[in-house]
Structure 1
Amino acid sequence: MTTLENRDSSALLVIDVQSGVLAGAYERDGVLDRIGSLVERARGAGTTVVWVQHSSDELPLESAPWQIVPELTVGEGEPVVHKRYGDAFEATDLEDVLAARGIGRLVVAGAQTDACVRSTLHGALTRGYDVTLVSDAHTTEDLSAWGAPSPAEVVAHTNLYWGFQEAPGRTAGTATAAEVELGGAGS
């Protein structure tokens, strides 16, 4: 029920599954297994998979930490959006990529829950997209030494509040990797 006209398709948005981002991530292997399954399901359903890749001083372009983790592979023709800000829409071509494919609904997975995932969820909803967070396919690192909650609490809290998120003419919510719908008209 997106507010974007003629945007009936869905996409799986895979955020920052990079070696340096996931080096110490909470439940890393399980999350990556579920993301891998989602990617394969999306491809099988003809649903666009869009990869987002962050760069920064800690993740310089083309460096080893900047690379997508070896467990996942970008498929031929799948768009990769490069970003420098938390919200994957900010100063990137993500909106153009989605508009060109008629995408109005996003299924979101990746890292980090309390940074780029959360920023992109909100950025998408405010721009008119329907947004589903895959509740067991996002993760973060342990920042509790700096006063943050534990990674488990960060993931649980994000799932809790996103499950109750709403906006006029748009839908939001969570679903597990096993139950999330990856199709949609013209996916």
Structure 2
Amino acid sequence: MTTLTGRPNTALLVVDVQNGVMETAHDRSNVLANLVTLVDRARAAGTEVVWVQHTSDELPRGSSTWEYVPELVRREEEPLVHKLYGDSFEDTDLEEVLSARGIGGLVVAGAQTDACIRSTLHGALTRGYDVTLVEDAHTTEDLSAYGAPPPGQVIAHTNLYWKYQTAPGRTAGTVPTAEVEFGVKAPA
């Protein structure tokens, strides 16, 4: 249970599902279908959906590569957090957004597994959040030419180690899209 007092709510955190990130993403169509399902189910349950959008030299703000994929459409009332670093909390207003909504638990999905997803998972856990990774709703590109394992192995390894992640007073773990339960509030 989160170590953040008075924050019983959970949010779906959708990280960097942008055109330039997803164009060569591993298992793109299945991951996107799962992300669409998660967003729809979160909305139907009244669970906050919080969007994170990365800006970099490869993803210049306002460019087509920077935009979210057309399969996912953010509603105007849903918070959008802009970031420059891997960890979605680093030098952003994400903490303020979550605090204002009483959110102490995160369900994380998006891209890239071996960069912004991992950084955000660890950043959230160290800040006191309960953090669940949706095991079939995150992806990465193939960086094996640079010495990385193939993307399927990167995803599998991240799922494996996050499944067993622990921290005092907080929960972590993985769950497939089909088993994500939105609308369930943690005890205050």
Query: Under a length normalisation based on structure 1, what TM-score does the superposition of the two structures give?
Result: 0.98
1:34-73 equivalences in 2 (<5 Å): 34-73=34-73
The 1-side partners of 2:63 and 2:76 are apart by: 21
Give CA-to-partner distance per residue, 1:109-155, whole Å, 9 cap, x none: 00000000000000000000000000000000000000000000000
Deviation (angstroms), 1:180:
1.3
Distance in structure 2 (CA, Å) of the matches to 1:183 and 1:52: 21
Shift of 1:175: 0.2
SS in 1 for 2:21: helix
Q: CA RMSD in A?
A: 0.8
Q: CA deviation at 1:184?
A: 2.8
Shift of 1:181: 1.7
Q: TM-score, normalised by structure 2?
A: 0.98
SS at 2:178 equivalent: coil
Question: Which letter does structure 2 place at the counterpart of 1:126?
Answer: T
Distance in 2 separating the partners of 1:76 and 1:178: 27
Q: How far apart, CA to CA, are the structure 1 residues paired with 2:76 and 2:46?
A: 13
Counterpart CA distance in 2 for 1:26 and 1:57 is: 22
Is the counterpart of residue 21 in structure 1 residue 21 in structure 2? yes
* Counterpart check, 1:153 vs 2:153: yes
2:114 matched residue in structure 1 = 114
Cα shift readout 1:49-78 (whole Å, capped 9, x = no counterpart): 000000001100000000000111001200
> Aligned letter for 2:156?
A
Give the CA deviation at 1:183: 2.1
Deviation at 1:3, TM superposition (A): 0.1
Segments of 5+ residues of structure 2 without an aligned counterpart are: none
Question: Offset of 1:160 from its aligned partner?
Answer: 0.1
Match of 1:166 in 2: 166
What residue is the counterpart of 2:33 in the other structure?
A: 33
Counterpart residue number, 1:81: 81
Q: In the alignment, residue 77 of structure 1 is paired with which amino acid? A: E
Deviates more, 1:87-96 or 1:177-186: 177-186
